[in-house]
Amino acid sequence: MPSAVLSQQSARPHGAPRVGAAPCTDDGHAVARAAAGDEDAFEALVRTHGRYVYNLAYHTLLDAREAEDAAQEAFVRAWRAIGGFRAEAGVRTWLYRITINVCFDRLPRLRRDLAGLDVDGDTSMAGLEDEGDALDEAVGRAQLAAAVRAAVAELPGGYRLLLTLRHFDDLSYDEIAHVTGLPIGSVKTGIHRARGQLRTRLAGVAAG
């Protein structure tokens, strides 16, 4: 996790008011206090979620410097929008959606890739959750291996993003739909297709 993402500059946008600095015990309290202008509460959110935001940006953009810049921009946007946070979405899910929007701006073809997956209602998606169990297990065992990371990196951007959210960040299908703005059917079918491509690339890794 680059230290710049946790810097004072990213955690405290220039000109933000400073209020009390009592420790925050959970995300809910931190969000409420950050929304009231508590910079230290927002810094607590950055410390808790910063590396997840950076990792998502990195797996999406495949460039460390771009990912660092995107993560900082995501937290600046989060600070500005914190008053509009709604508790029905988890804090990390909310931050992921902001991060993906930043990535859309930096990688326009990613939005097109995802739009191409808009196949909600595709009858081929029946039972996709069960069909993916064996691959989930194989990816879970080997997910830190360079071969697996390389295989995911070779996938088209939309598939790479969906697999990152599902397998590396462990988001549910509903959460992925919320984060990406895709219909749930498109999420399921997109992950199914991405798994098929990844399974081919991982055949040797899983067998070993």
Q: Domains for the chain: give ranges and CATH numbers.
A: 3-106 (1.10.1740.10), 114-207 (1.10.10.10)
Three-state DSSP class for 178?
helix
User: Tens of pLDDT along 15-31?
Assistant: 333 333 333 447 888 99
105-128: average pLDDT: 69
- Cβ atoms of residues 103 and 110 within 8 Å: yes
**What 3-state DSSP class applies to 10?**
helix
Residue in the structure block whose two tokens are 């830190």: 144
Q: What is the pTM of this model?
A: 0.77
Contact 45, 58 (CB under 8 A): no
Residue 140 to residues 20, 54, 122, 131, 177: CA-CA distances in angstroms? 42, 20, 28, 15, 22
Query: pLDDT, tens digit, for every residue of 32-73?
Result: 999 999 999 999 999 999 999 999 999 999 999 999 999 999
pLDDT greater at residue 175 or residue 144: 175
Could you tell me which of 30, 32, 29, 48 has the C-alpha nearest to residue 40? 30
DSSP 145: S
Query: Residue written as tokens 């410390």?
Result: 47
